[in-house]
Structure 1
Amino acid sequence: MLLMLTTAGRIGAILELTWDRVDLSRRTIRLASNEIGPRKGRATVPINDTLIAALQSAKAAAMSDFVVEWGGRQVGSIKTGFNAAVKRAGIEHCTPHDLRRTAGRFMAEAGVTIDEIAQYLGHTNPSVTRSTYARFSPDHLRRAAGSLELGGVRLVHRTRGKTPKSS
């Protein structure tokens, strides 16, 4: 789950990920399996400090070319294990894709630009990213709120049939 959250990778990209696309010295992961790539965009993402130690341990214990493996074989699905972990954590509903959405939200809340989030998520069209994550940015609607500043403005009270008086 750490790999999914810190790379914001789609589940298919994570399950297909092989060690030849993980560069521990340069601290990058190429989620695309080839240069042409699948229909869904897959980015090359940096490995952060949280993930590097976990990957180093996993690499030392690896029994296959796959980063996510069980008994030396590629894992085809994480549904059973993921659902069990969600249940143990007491979470009512969570899917693997929710980790990807959480990553996008965390980036937006940290003030990462929409263009950077789009690139990290492998979105080809930043407008999709904007419509999904912009509302989580600390600066979202800040200019709109600023246009409603009332400093120095005086309210005018009106009553029926009387001349307005200032307050």
Structure 2
Amino acid sequence: MAMTTTQPAIATVPITFPVGVPGFEEHHRFHLVGLGPAYGPWLALRSAIEGGPTFVVAQPYELGVELTVEIDDLHQAVLGIADPQQVLVLVVATLRNPHPTVNLRAPIVVNVEVLRAAQIPQDRDDYLLEAPVTVPLYDTARLRPSEASDEPGADR
């Protein structure tokens, strides 16, 4: 793929789910991929298997959401978590117009040192399955003027 100087390189981080993802247990390897500036905090979590699932995710604090995640001993052992500094929490989005909702009941916990992850259900009634957020999925206002002119469908 050719890249122009106005297209930022988008990082891809390989993540392993030792027990798979609920509903997709056969998928253990994923890639966490930045979607680009217009998507702000939103990322894609794509299965490494061709035709596998892709989830839109974000860190809750970047969406203005407060979330405290309880990680049981089993998940701490499976993910190799010994220190809270090793943990990255992501929430999965459901795409809705104009703003997505996020699943606070089952966040994804990633050990950033070994890049292992698990979706860990939380037993809290105040954590919604479809919590509304005000951060849109795509917003051209996040682009610098030179990037906006390179967007598909932009007037040239």
Task: Return the TM-score normalized by structure 1.
Answer: 0.23
Looking at secondary structure, tell me which structure has more helix per residue.
Answer: 1
Normalized per residue, the structure richer in strand is: 2
